[in-house]
Amino acid sequence: MNPKTPMPSRRELLAASLPSLHLAGLLAGLGLLPGQALAADAPGWNATAFDAKSVANVMKALGVAAPTPSTGVVLSAPEIAENGAVVPVGVSSSLPGVTRLMVLVEKNPATLSALFEIGDAVEPTISTRVKMGQTSNVYAVALTKDGALHYAVKEVKVTLGGCGG
């Protein structure tokens, strides 16, 4: 700043920022500013499945049969997660007609951690991060168009808990 130029007063700074504040208020009023994404507000949200406390209860809430092990489902997760609050998990499937991919953490307070709807034009591959409160089996589950469920499972050891730990 030039030492000969006087510093603007607080009133001058506020007056200069009013047009920006007015524009932001207008955009917010029209719903054009980004907001919080809430999956629970989405059509088809299955709260019962996400509140289930076991793998069997998740399957029951989703109205599907028990999954069978399959080499067509691949789960990538670390052997040891140093921080259970952010455990990277990847799921992919080579099975034909996959319509849904799910990540379940057996010993979490809520077993179903993630559910992804897969369209026909989408490759059935996802990656996300999940919270894990303790060492647990992690399941990658793929649902196909014919209603069959296939899964892969891996134990992930957690050294620092993420679900309230």
Q: Is 7 inside any structural domain?
A: no
Q: Name which of 101, 122, 125, 121 is nearest 113 in CA terms.
A: 101
Residue 126 pLDDT: 95
Residue 33 lies in a domain: no
Q: Does residue 116 sit within a domain? A: yes
Is 117 inside a domain boundary? yes
With a pLDDT cut of 90, the percent of the chain lying above it is 47
Residue 1 has pLDDT above 60, yes or no: no
Average pLDDT over residues 135-146: 94
pLDDT of 76 = 96
Q: Give the pLDDT band of residue 12 (cuts 50, 70, 90).
A: confident
Residue 69: closest CA among 131, 139, 5: 139
Q: 45 or 9, which is more confident?
A: 9
Q: What tens digit of pLDDT does each residue of 25-70 get?
A: 766 666 665 655 555 566 666 778 888 888 888 888 888 888 899 9
**pLDDT value, residue 27:** 65
Region 70-84 average pLDDT = 94
Is 133 domain-assigned? yes
- Classify residue 30: in a domain, yes or no: no
In a domain, 106, yes or no: yes
CA-based radius of gyration for the chain = 23
Mean predicted confidence (pLDDT) in 7-27: 71
Q: Above 50 in pLDDT, residue 165?
A: no
Give domain status of residue 4, yes or no.
no
Residue 90 CA to chain centroid, in angstroms?
Answer: 11
The rounded mean pLDDT for the chain is 84
Confirm if 122 and 144 have CB atoms less than 8 A apart: no
Q: Which of residues 13 and 32 earns the better pLDDT score?
A: 13
Q: Indicate the number of domains in the chain.
A: 1
pLDDT of residue 149: 93
Residue 51 belongs to a domain with what CATH number? Answer: 2.60.40.2470
Domain range enclosing 110: 39-158
What is the model's pTM? 0.71
